[in-house]
Chains A and B, each alone.
Chain A
Amino acid sequence: MLSDKLKSTGLADAADIQAAWPAEERLKKGPVAVVECFQEIPCNPCETSCPQKAIVVGQDINALPRVDHSKCNGCTICVSRCPGLAIFVIDEKYSEAESAVTMPYEFLPLPQKGDTVEALDRQGQTCCQAKVIRVVNTKAQDKTPLVTLAIPKGREKVVRFFKLVP
């Protein structure tokens, strides 16, 4: 069920987010895709792009994607293939103090590896500093580059965007 908050503001509430969240045991094992696609729309590139067959939309193209997090290896291919830019890859194993979050970023200039940026929440508010640890922009991604940020532990559900520090 979609929350009223999401329907009227575009901001997912805690219940929306929880519905897409992988089990804690799976998160401990390393990178995994979080598919924040909460609304039934006719769309399936996540399913067709996943090499692990971990995402299923099925016969009815309007169905919500169902993710088998145990099959997902966090490869990030779906992140740049999702037309809604609604998929993120979370890696809680990145380091002792930090997690990594990979997100699509279709803006210029692209950040560089090693840059410090301001991590933003779903509402575009600064929530912490983050370090850019990877920028991937291959031809296969078709102009949807992926940026991976190292963020403080505990912010995995919050950080969904960033802004460059001038």
Chain B
Amino acid sequence: MNTLDFLIIGGGPAGLMAALAASDFGLKPLVIDENQKLGGQLIKQTHMFFGSKAERAGTRGFDIGTELAGEMEKRGIEIWSNSPAVGYYPDGTVAVLKNDKLHGLKPKAVLAATGASENFVTFPGSDLPGVYGAGAVQTLMNVYGIKPGQSVLMIGSGNIGLIVSYQLMQAGVQVKAIIEGLPNIGGYLVHASKIARAGVPILTRHTILEAVGEDQVKGAVISRIDDKWQPVAGSQQNIECDTICLAVGLTPLTEMLWQAGCQMNFVPELGGQVAWHDELMMTSIPGIFTAGDVTGIEEASTAMLEGELAGLGAVKYLKGDSKELQCRIDDTACRLAGLRAGPFGQKAREGKCKLKECRIKQV
């Protein structure tokens, strides 16, 4: 049985920032990740990040991933790649699969920075080859250099739908249209504008009725929808395409937190079931922390700051408070609040507010 101070499950933006913050204050964390390469979703983000210069805005996502992984290496922080966490036991043991062997780790503090998985929508033909999640398309293109097809219909105009459409266009794939059920575009309008000026229409208040094709996608039937989300008669159109890409939201990957028995709450603004947490990202169970998309679907920049807070929270939990630590916590919390202060942070703000109240009600 191993013992260690701080186990971080997930080497994405939140987990890596937590590891670096904890190491700033002398903790020796262990980061485990189910993938080969550190960085989580960062490794396929080829666009420049938004946010503040302090959060590396203007730098491309994959470069941020490389930078963080390099810093981990420089500090000699232990990393287990290809090592998924597969269970949490009542005595606090985390079961980790590494090189076909099961390891039981019993950390004094643990952070679940396990991210999120993509949502799916069903429609006739949605099981045909050629229907992809946007994340899968991004991985194929940007990690493995493989085009998913020649012509794509994108479903969903959130930032993922917009960004992946742009990246498809950069790869030389024709994007036929982006459709969106809501009356307005979900993602940043600057992303939408750069796609529009390359000639790709963004059709709000539209839905997919079916995918066309016998053995694979050959097209799609789309339709305008009314205020009640019902197809408008006569507005159907056929789109010829070999790929349908779904960018319809994410759901937090909370299995580890459920197994640990953390208080979970359903908060739609955060993407579904999430663990209650305090200001330093500690759940209802002392010593168990959570950060990033698993605590609410947001952007990588907020995930990084939540991760930093969780790392600092683990320091406080294990080593106690200090003036220096409190200063750093205040600064990080302030930057996080700043990122969420605008209209785009409203959903996250409301969600986090609701989550906070959930705990007060139960106590």
> What is A's interface to B at a CB cutoff of 8 Å?
2, 6-12, 36-45, 48-49, 60-62, 81-86, 106-108, 120-125, 142-144, 160-161
Asked whether A107 lies within 8 Å of B50 as measured between CB atoms, the reply is no
Residue of A nearest to B338 (CB): A61
Q: Is the CB of B189 within 8 A of A42?
A: no
Instruction: Give every chain B residue within 8 A of A41 (Cβ-Cβ).
Output: 50, 188, 190, 342, 344
Within 8 A of A (CB), among B40-60: 47-53, 57-60
Name 28 A/B residue pairs within 8 A (Cβ), A-sorted. Answer: A8-B184, A8-B204, A9-B201, A9-B202, A10-B192, A10-B195, A10-B196, A11-B193, A12-B193, A38-B189, A39-B188, A39-B343, A41-B342, A42-B341, A42-B344, A43-B57, A44-B52, A62-B341, A62-B343, A83-B57, A83-B190, A84-B190, A84-B194, A124-B196, A125-B199, A142-B59, A160-B197, A161-B198
Residues A42 and B50 in contact, CB atoms below 8 Å apart? yes
For the complex, give the distance between the alpha carbons of A41 and B341 in Å: 9
Q: Which 5 A-B pairs have the closest CB atoms?
A: A62-B342, A124-B199, A84-B190, A10-B192, A45-B58
Name which residue of chain A comes closest to B343, CB basis.
Answer: A40
Say whether B170 faces chain A, with CB atoms less than 8 Å apart: yes
What are the residues of chain B within 8 A of A107 when measuring CB–CB? 169-170
| Segment 174-222 of B: residues with Cβ below 8 Å from A | 183-185, 188-202, 204-205
CA distance A10 to B193 in the complex (A): 5
Q: Does B301 contact A (CB under 8 A)?
A: yes
**Known contacts A9-B204, A10-B195, A86-B193: does B53 contact A45 (CB below 8 Å)?**
yes
User: Interface size bucket, B side?
Assistant: 35 or more
**How many Å lie between the Cα of A58 and that of B185 in the bound state?**
26
Residue of chain A at shortest CB distance from B184: A7
Min CB gap A86→B, angstroms: 5
B339 contacts A by Cβ under 8 Å: yes
Q: Is B351 among interface residues, defined by CB-CB distance under 8 A? A: no
Please indicate the chain A residues that have their CB under 8 angstroms from the CB of B51 in the complex: 42-44, 61
Q: Is the CB of A124 within 8 A of B345?
A: no
A108: which B residues are within 8 A, CB to CB? 170
A8-B184, A84-B188 known; 16 new pairs, CB 8 Å cut-off, are A10-B193, A10-B196, A40-B342, A41-B190, A41-B342, A42-B339, A42-B345, A81-B48, A83-B190, A84-B50, A86-B194, A106-B170, A120-B199, A122-B196, A122-B197, A124-B197
Q: With a CB–CB cut-off of 8 A, which chain B residues contact A161?
A: 197-198
Measured in the bound complex, the distance between the Cα atoms of B352 and A29 in whole Å is 50
Nearest-neighbour CB distance to chain B for A74, whole angstroms, equals 20
- Which chain B residue lies CB-closest to A63? B342
Within 8 A of A (CB), among B57-103: 57-60
Assembly CA distance A81 to B195 (angstroms): 18
- Closest CB-CB distance, B42 to chain A, in whole Å? 15
| Nearest chain A CB to B199 CB, angstrom units | 3
Contact, CB under 8 Å: A83 / B338: no
CA–CA, A106 to B59, complex, Å? Answer: 15
In angstroms, Cα B333 to Cα A101, docked, is 41
B residues in contact with A144, CB < 8 Å: 48
Instruction: Tell me the complex Cα distance, A74–B344, Å.
Output: 30
**Chain A's nearest CB lies how many Å from the CB of B281?**
20
Which residues of chain B have C-beta atoms less than 8 A from A124's C-beta?
196-200
Q: State A11–B185 Cα separation when bound (angstroms).
A: 11
Partner of A85, one of B183, B190, B200, B340: B190
Chain A residues whose CB sits within 8 angstroms of the CB of B169 once the complex forms:
107
Which residue of chain B has its CB nearest to the CB of A86?
B190
- Whether A40 lies near B196 (C-beta < 8 A) is no
Name the A residues within 8 Å of B342 (CB-CB): 40-42, 60-62
Interface residues of B in 304-363 (CB under 8 A from A): 338-345
Cross-chain contact B341 with A10 (CB below 8 angstroms): no
B170, B196, B338: residue with the most chain A Cβ atoms closer than 10 Å: B196
Provided the pairs A7-B184, A8-B184, A8-B204 are in contact, do residues A62 and B344 lie with their beta carbons within 8 angstroms?
A: yes
Is there an interface contact between A40 and B197, defined as CB atoms closer than 8 Å? no
